[in-house]
Amino acid sequence: MSVLKVGIVGGTGYTGAELLRLIAGHPNAEVAMITSRAEAGVGVDELFPSLRGYTDLKFTVPDVSELAACDVVFFATPHNVAMKMVPELLAANTRIIDLSADFRIRDAKLWSEWYHEEHLCPELLAEAVYGLPEKKADQIKDARLIACPGCYPTSIQLGFLPLIEEKLIDTSRLIASAASGVSGAGRQAKVDNLFTEISDSFKAYGVSGHRHLPEIEQELSEAAGSDVALTFTPHLLPQVRGIHATLFSEIRDPAVGLDELQFLFEKRYADSPFVDVMPLGSTPQTRTVRGGNMCRIALHRPQNRNTVVVLSAIDNLVKGASGQAIQNMNLMFGLEESAGLNGISLLP
Amino acid sequence: MSVLKVGIVGGTGYTGAELLRLIAGHPNAEVAMITSRAEAGVGVDELFPSLRGYTDLKFTVPDVSELAACDVVFFATPHNVAMKMVPELLAANTRIIDLSADFRIRDAKLWSEWYHEEHLCPELLAEAVYGLPEKKADQIKDARLIACPGCYPTSIQLGFLPLIEEKLIDTSRLIASAASGVSGAGRQAKVDNLFTEISDSFKAYGVSGHRHLPEIEQELSEAAGSDVALTFTPHLLPQVRGIHATLFSEIRDPAVGLDELQFLFEKRYADSPFVDVMPLGSTPQTRTVRGGNMCRIALHRPQNRNTVVVLSAIDNLVKGASGQAIQNMNLMFGLEESAGLNGISLLP
Amino acid sequence: MSVLKVGIVGGTGYTGAELLRLIAGHPNAEVAMITSRAEAGVGVDELFPSLRGYTDLKFTVPDVSELAACDVVFFATPHNVAMKMVPELLAANTRIIDLSADFRIRDAKLWSEWYHEEHLCPELLAEAVYGLPEKKADQIKDARLIACPGCYPTSIQLGFLPLIEEKLIDTSRLIASAASGVSGAGRQAKVDNLFTEISDSFKAYGVSGHRHLPEIEQELSEAAGSDVALTFTPHLLPQVRGIHATLFSEIRDPAVGLDELQFLFEKRYADSPFVDVMPLGSTPQTRTVRGGNMCRIALHRPQNRNTVVVLSAIDNLVKGASGQAIQNMNLMFGLEESAGLNGISLLP
Amino acid sequence: MSVLKVGIVGGTGYTGAELLRLIAGHPNAEVAMITSRAEAGVGVDELFPSLRGYTDLKFTVPDVSELAACDVVFFATPHNVAMKMVPELLAANTRIIDLSADFRIRDAKLWSEWYHEEHLCPELLAEAVYGLPEKKADQIKDARLIACPGCYPTSIQLGFLPLIEEKLIDTSRLIASAASGVSGAGRQAKVDNLFTEISDSFKAYGVSGHRHLPEIEQELSEAAGSDVALTFTPHLLPQVRGIHATLFSEIRDPAVGLDELQFLFEKRYADSPFVDVMPLGSTPQTRTVRGGNMCRIALHRPQNRNTVVVLSAIDNLVKGASGQAIQNMNLMFGLEESAGLNGISLLP
């Protein structure tokens, strides 16, 4: 099999670095170019010395015609960048995997409300496939344009999906209390994300409305066949990687036992190489997925009351971003779903 | 005013060290003796070099007759220790502030279910006062025996109390997603609490039932005038100090606005020196209470839907343990409620 | 005794916040004004919520005539700010405690080499007193202008001074391998100091020449009566507070035993309330000085060879900055040297 | 090529877990058995959930006759275990890679002084090869018994070797100030290594004599052709992985410039896949080697004086233990030196 030529737009952030790390170990893909306007000309390994010895690439100024020579282009950019370049790349038959939020929301008006911009190519929103492989593998295979889910949305949807698809819970009042490592905030210089501001402390943020809410509600509503309502409270952890979601919902029929729920989850994810339904009684730790593409899930029903608690843990930079993007690439190009993604998490 | 003579039983843990730190700066109290069977004869400052220069005390073997010479004895012990010594000390007119769980649950049978032991002095359970000063200041003033609340219970009750007292929320389905620094687990040698097991990771634990649940339900039910049901999910943070509780509840009357709730909280805690109701839009960080006795609270109502989110942060070793114990002592002995507790939190 | 009116210039950094925290507990001083051009009009407790309830101050635009009404003005600014305002304030009989580097180097030319600026008031360099109380208490008492030592220089000088004053070591090849918490880098938005860049990692920096080198060599040479040469290698720790210096030197006379050195250190610092010479065999941990003004020192002589190893630990924001500044203020105004500085370090 | 059958003795520690992680990605080796007396019968992935999905192995009671069926046995045990089993395994033609200290010191008497035990098979000490591939590749290829270097010794020797081999420095007074993540202390329950004791703090330890000293002096003396003397001061970092060594030595001929030293290092390690001599001006961060087998080195000569400073960083669990062990296995069995060791370090 020939090797896929990959382009990465916006390579100076953590998801860019993570794409480089993962693709370096991928048997069927290699990075042909990586762009950064600010760092053009600089060696990738100057910014990320962990890559010394593994790459000779230099950052280049993004150029659509050069990128169009790639088989697939990943956007590891803030929102509002991909939508400026995607139409031209699609026209050149380059396939797109967008890690940003530009194509996640199918309703352009809703997108504008949350991202405070006009969408530049609303005509592509219907075509874009929301790239959660555990939900949309079939559509991903044929997609030209993938909108990779956000990190929180990945962990939250994987935890709620089996319950919602089987209509086992009251979807009018879902609660997600989730916590993320700081790498989710990117590599921008901000006082709030200094070591001295984050270390040894914990806080909620975005409580009144986080941008990941609408994509979660969109996708869970689709799965439910009706509108779901989610209260989503994100928190910031004093750690680099990892998202942990604690999901609360009311079971409709109290007679459905925890064992049945466990069986349901195991069956639902039996063919998903990157979802690990842990044995009853478990609690996933984020470090058990650090650096890996796995989502670990555990189910609880405290005091045997009617509230089901689902725990879900991923590495926000891998299954929550760059790993999932590669998982999508694998599906799009008919490769093994787990190609390049079998690295074991780093513990301790 | 004369200076209170304080005895501390079980001084080798973190709450013991914290009592020493705080009482060293208290104008009306001094530690007369501190006990530890295992470390008897060892200087307190050998175990805690931060105290070098501030104390000459050595640990002694606990002896009830010697302790009885103190005005007040603090138990900074695991559960099951205080109840062996308290009756004799009370008989000697020594007042007791128990930081452990021995006297928190008024129902001896319920206590036994959660703590897997027979209670040794159930006859004292009715007399013991649950030492949450913001709820029971009047009873505390006259108490001989105080059962200090657990760390989680303090943060959770202070966040729910105003809503419950005013019957504003549905108490049949309260949810508390809370997270604690590791110092809450004490100073015992356990693989699970090694730096290498905790650092850079996050997990839930005790999901099926944490021992702090019954005391929270007991006290909130008392405030509600009827049984409340709480789903309580604790998590472990990769940080030393701090508890953060994220509390979800359904408002009964959607017409009650967030401004009204804010006003209610501010009024409820107007005379409480250690509860800080932050301005609307705030999110408390645990580091803003690190080392201090403050509980910081903020209110949210996401998307103006019916779920109210209360955020509450304390230092588990101070307002969640040793600081609150001293606040109780101050009330019991007619001192200024904040005596010795005005140290400002360490930030950064 | 009347209460000193304190002004703070540059209050939005960590040393400014720390001055506020410490002076809030000082019996003879209060902050009358705190300046910040960028945050003028903002409440101090908005930037530092740990101060909520303890201060009503707002940041103001720095104004020399207003500052001149203070008894003493602290500069908690980057270098190059104090020297613009100090002459005018001195003329108004306001005493100055400068936490920055502007007046630490007595040779204006040397200062310019390291700080890449012309010095604006070289005529004051001879008058400025280097504010290391354990070395210059007498001069500090009469000083109008104090140049507080840097954080590394404080820890390194306190460790070398007794050996150098007694001419016990070869001063032609001193080595200091020191490590600092990130708070030493201040509260500026920089990618290098993000949590994600610092956490779980360690590195040396400034190996070829750190600005703290010349002030250390200046002061140690003064103590030696001849030029000393120091190789100073700073490192950055994944922690917020704390400096630890590991000092290597060759003993001149191998017959001088470790016991004698220990006795020498204990005698040298017998009257220094903030230097703790620990027992032989000890190793100071930075957490035992976290938040406190203490410097803890321990002596070693590995394998009884000729290299003496001195370990020295301080809190860079307290004994290395704001605490030492207040210690200087106490001496300047005839107060108890330890007034306001007796808070015990936060452990754990 | 057939696949090597690997046995691991002592698999419940961090180096055992790391061997499993690395061998899982090795093209020519697989773990056939892993022993633990305490956890016999327990699934490896119960102890290390990061391995869920990658292994079905269970811990077994160590049995020499079963281990003898392996091509190679790794000892990931505390010292004193390997030497009880090695003679019998060698007799059965099983090759041994010992990660413990049992065979590192060629002088049995010296070994006993530092490890406080009689050596049980001193006759094997002469045959055992000290497994630092960058120094002894040729001997490793033919070895039956490899004594893997300690973690500190690896980082320190790689930094000093080129200078010593070329007789460029004074070897009578070498200084190594090194710092290690806590994983170096293993997975034993000890109060000193609790998160609450380590986090946000830094200290020296073992200053008077650390067990890694004799093996460093032995090997560097061999390289020098005469006895070297090293002052070695280890420190404990508040991080999980990583060793950083800061090495000080005096250059014999001040005319030898830093450029020449840099050239020398680059040449010395030109064929070493796991030593990265960074460009002049660099400072290696431990996170750039986290999870990888690389040693990154940088050279400095502060103020152009005569003290050369070499900085050296490794992951203590990989190049300092399990990765180096596999590198040795690769050499012993004629495999590609880097087989299974090309995983890129996890950054951030």
pLDDT at A40: 96
Give the residue on D whose Cα is nearest the Cα of C348: D196
Which member of B50, B240, B241 has the closest CB to residue C288? B50
Catalytic residue among B70, B121, B148, B151: B151
The verdict on residue A140 lying in a domain is no
Residues B35 and B133 in one domain: yes
Pairing of strands C145-147, C129-130: parallel
Name the residue among D52, D54, D344 with its Cβ closest to that of A50: D344
CB C15, CB C321: distance < 8 Å: yes
Task: Give B-chain residues touching D347 at CB under 8 angstroms.
Answer: none
With contacts defined as CB-CB under 8 Å, which chain B residues touch A287? Answer: 200-201
Q: Quick one: chain C helix, strand, coil %, rounded to 5?
A: 35, 20, 45
Q: Are A30 and A343 in contact (CB under 8 A)?
A: no
Chain C: nearest CA to B15, how far in angstroms?
A: 10
**Residue C134, pLDDT score:** 98
B200 closest CB neighbour out of A233, A287, A313: A287
CATH number at residue A119: 3.40.50.720
Residue D123 near residue D90, CB atoms below 8 Å: no
- Pick among D207, D250, D261, D289 to test the C interface (most C CBs inside 10 A): D207
Average pLDDT over residues C61-80: 96
Distance (Å) from the C-alpha of residue D205 to the closest C-alpha of chain B? 15
Q: How many domains does chain B have?
A: 2
Mean per-residue pLDDT of chain D: 97
Q: Give A204's strand partners.
A: A235
- Chain D residues in contact with B182 (beta carbon < 8 A): 194-196, 199
List beta partners, residue C276.
Answer: C296
Q: What's the rounded mean pLDDT across residues C291-303?
A: 98
What would you report as the CA-atom Rg of chain B, rounded to the nearest whole angstrom? 20
Out of C181, C239, C309, closest to residue D207 by CB: C309
DSSP secondary structure code for residue B52 in this structure: T
Give A310's strand partners: A247, A299
- Co-location of A305 and A156 in the same domain: yes
User: Which pLDDT belongs to residue C108?
Assistant: 97
User: Can you give the pLDDT at residue C13?
Assistant: 96
Chain B: give the shortest CA distance to residue A192, in Å. 12
- Residues recorded for chain A: 348
Q: Which residues of A touch C187 (CB under 8 A)?
A: 191, 194, 196
Amino acid at residue number B246? T
- Find, in chain B, the residue whose alpha carbon is nearest to that of A250: B173
What is the count of residue pairs from B and D with beta carbons less than 8 Å apart?
62
- Per the CB < 8 A criterion, the answer to whether D165 and D135 are in contact is no
Residues A70, A121, A148, A151: which is the catalytic one? A151
Q: Could you tell me the maximum CA-CA distance found in chain C, to the nearest angstrom?
A: 64
Task: Tell me whether residues D307 and C204 touch, CB distance under 8 A.
Answer: no
Three-state SS letters, chain D: CCCEEEEEECCCCHHHHHHHHHHHCCCCEEEEEEECCCCCCCEHHHHCHHHCCCCCCEEECCCHHHHCCCCEEEECCCCCCHHHHHHHHHHCCCEEEECCCCCCCCCHHHHHHHHCCCCCCHHHCCCCEECCHHHHHHHHHHCCEEECCCHHHHHHHHHHHHHHHCCCECCCCEEEEEEECHHHHCCCCCHHHEHHHHCCCCEECCCCCCCHHHHHHHHHHHHHCCCCCEEEEEEECCCCCCEEEEEEEEECCCCCCHHHHHHHHHHHCCCCCCEEECCCCCCCEHHHHCCCCCEEEEEECHHHCCEEEEEEEECCCHHHHHHHHHHHHHHHCCCCCCCCCCCCCCCC
pLDDT at A132 over 90: yes
User: Are D245 and D288 part of one and the same domain?
Assistant: yes
Instruction: Give C-chain residues touching D233 at CB under 8 angstroms.
Output: 177, 246, 248, 302, 309
Which domain covers residue B176, as residue numbers?
152-316
Contact A50 D347 (CB under 8 A): yes
Backbone angles phi, psi at C214, to 5 degrees: -60, -35
Which of the listed residues A127, A161, A195 is the one where a domain comes to its end?
A127
Closest CA–CA distance from residue A327 to any residue of chain C (Å): 25
A151 flagged as catalytic:
yes
In A81-199, which residue ranges form alpha helices assigned H by DSSP? Answer: 82-91, 108-115, 133-142, 151-165, 195-198
Give chain D positions within 8 Å (CB) of B180: none
D190–B189 CB contact, under 8 Å: yes
Instruction: Give which of D195, D205, D290, D316 to mutate to test B binding, by max B Cβ within 10 Å.
Output: D195
Measure Cα distances from C187 to A205, C19, C78 in Å. 21, 15, 11
Residue B345 lies in a domain: no
pLDDT at residue C1, rounded to an integer: 59
Domain match, B58 and B205 both: no
Does the residue D280 lie in any domain? yes
B130 and B181 fall within a common domain? no
Q: Which residues of D touch C283 (CB under 8 A)?
A: 203-205, 207
The pLDDT, as a whole number, for residue D1 is: 59
Q: To the nearest whole angstrom, how far is the Cα of A237 from the nearest Cα of chain D?
A: 15
User: Euclidean distance between the first and final Cα of chain D, in Å?
Assistant: 36
Which positions ≥6 away from C213 have C-beta within 8 Å? Answer: C114, C230, C232, D303
Say yes or no to pLDDT of A211 above 90. Answer: yes
Across chain C, mean pLDDT equals: 97
Q: Two tokens at C236?
A: 């950055």
**B38 pLDDT above the threshold of 90:** yes
Chain D neighbors (3+ CB pairs < 8 Å): A, B, C
C-beta separation of A50 from A25 below 8 A: no
Instruction: Tell me the per-residue pLDDT of D324-341, one tens digit each, with 9 for 90 and over.
Output: 999 999 999 999 999 999
Is residue C171 domain-shared with residue C99, that is, in the same domain? Answer: no
| Six-digit token string for D185 | 């202390």
The answer to whether residue C339 sits within a structural domain is no
What 8-state DSSP symbol labels residue B54? T
Given pLDDT bands bounded at 50, 70 and 90, which one contains residue D2? confident
From chain A residues 310-329, the ones with a CB under 8 A of any chain B CB are: 311, 313
D156, pLDDT greater than 90:
yes
Is residue A80 located within the same domain as residue A171?
no
d(CA A48, CA A340): 20
Determine, for residues D209 and C244 on separate chains, whether the beta-carbon distance falls below 8 Å: no
Cα–Cα nearest to C242, from C133, C337, C155? C155
- Chain B, nearest residue to D48 by Cα: B197
Q: Which chains touch A (3 or more CB pairs under 8 A)?
A: B, C, D
What is the distance in angstroms between the Cα of A227 and the nearest Cα belonging to chain D? 36
Neighbouring residues of A241: CB distance < 8 A, sequence distance ≥ 6: A181, A183, A286, A290, A291, A315, A316, A317, B200, D348
pLDDT value at B2 more than 90: no
Rounded Cα–Cα distance for residues B200 and D17 (Å): 18
CB neighbour list of residue D123: distance below 8 Å, 6 or more residues apart: none
Are both B118 and B168 inside the same structural domain?
A: no
Q: Which residues contact D313 (CB under 8 A, 6 or more apart)?
A: C203, D155, D242, D243, D244, D245, D284, D285, D286, D288, D289, D295, D296, D297
My answer on whether C124 and C11 are in the same domain is yes
Q: How far apart are CA D147 and CA D98, in angstroms?
A: 5
The active-site residue, picked from C70, C148, C151, C295, is C151
Only one residue has tokens 């070098």, namely: B52
* Cα separation values, C254 from A172, C258, C261, D250, Å: 80, 10, 12, 20
Domain boundary among A127, A142, A173: A127
Please report whether residue A253 resides in a domain. yes
In this prediction, the answer to ipTM > 0.90 reads: yes
Alpha-carbon span C317 to C99, nearest angstrom: 11
- Residue C207 forms contact with B (CB below 8 Å): no
Contact C50 B289 (CB under 8 A): yes
* A-B contacts at Cβ under 8 angstroms: 149
Quick check: B49 and C199 CB within 8 A? no
**A45 part of a folded domain:** yes
Give strand pairing partners of B297. Answer: B277, B312
Is D278 in CB contact (< 8 Å) with chain A? Answer: yes
A97 SS3 class:
strand
The residues of D assigned a catalytic role are: 151
Q: Which residue of B has its CA nearest to A177?
A: B177
Per DSSP bridges, beta strands C243-250 and C295-300 are unpaired
Q: C304: distance to nearest CA of chain B, Å?
A: 25
Q: Are residues C104 and C213 in the same domain?
A: no
In degrees and rounded to multiples of 5, residue C30 shows phi and psi of -145, 150
Contacts of D305 in chain C (CB under 8 A): 229, 231
* Spatial distance between the Cα atoms of D257 and D259, rounded to a whole number of angstroms: 5
D239 and B CB contact within 8 Å: yes
Q: Give the pLDDT mean for B178-192.
A: 96
Which residues from chain B sit within 8 angstroms of residue A305, using beta carbons?
229, 231
Cis, peptide link before residue D62, omega less than 30° from 0: no
Token pair, residue C109, equals 């030319």
d(CA A345, CA A339): 16
Distance (Å, whole) CA C93 – CA C74: 14
Size of interface A-D (CB pairs under 8 A): 88
- In chain D, which residues have their Cβ closer than 8 Å to the Cβ of C313? 202-203
Compute the nearest-CA separation of C249 from chain B (Å): 26
Residue C348 in domain: no
Provide the angle, in degrees to the nearest 10, between the axes of the packed helices B14-24 and B323-332.
Answer: 50
Q: What letter does residue C200 receive in the DSSP assignment?
A: T
Are A97 and A17 contained in the same domain? yes
Buried b / exposed e along C265-292 (16+ C-beta atoms within 10 A): beebbeebbbbbbbeeebbbbbbbbbbb
Please answer yes or no on whether B300 and A208 come within 8 Å at the CB atom: yes
pLDDT number for residue B279? 97
| CATH number of residue D207's parent domain | 3.30.360.10
Summarised one tens digit per residue, pLDDT across range D227-243 is 999 999 999 999 999 99
Angle B212-224/B108-115 helices, nearest 10 degrees?
Answer: 150
* One-character DSSP codes across C285-309: BGGGGTTS--EEEEEE-GGG-SEEE
Inter-chain touch A344–D54, beta carbons under 8 Å? yes
Contacts with D, B 81-140, CB within 8 Å: none
pLDDT at B1 over 70: no
Q: Identify the band that residue C103 occupies on the pLDDT scale cut at 50, 70 and 90.
A: very high
Whether A333 and A280 have beta carbons less than 8 Å apart is answered as: no
Asked if residue B337 belongs to a domain, the reply is: no
List the C129-130 sheet strands across, edge first. C59-60, C29-35, C4-9, C72-75, C95-98, C145-147, C129-130
**One-letter amino acid for residue D244 of the chain:** H
Which residues are within 8 A (CB) of C120 and not within 5 positions of it... i.e. 6 or more apart? C83, C84
Residue in chain C nearest B314 by alpha carbon: C50
Provide, as residue numbers in chain C, all residues whose Cβ is less than 8 Å from the Cβ of B344. 21, 24-25, 50-51, 54
pLDDT higher than 90, residue A178: yes
Both A113 and A215 in one domain: the answer is no
Query: CA–CA distance from A311 to each of A40, A210, A243, B206, D114 (Å)?
Result: 42, 20, 11, 12, 48
Are B242 and B289 within 8 A, CB to CB? yes
Taking the C-alpha atoms of residue B261 and residue B162, their distance in angstroms, rounded to an integer, is 9
Amino acid at D128: A
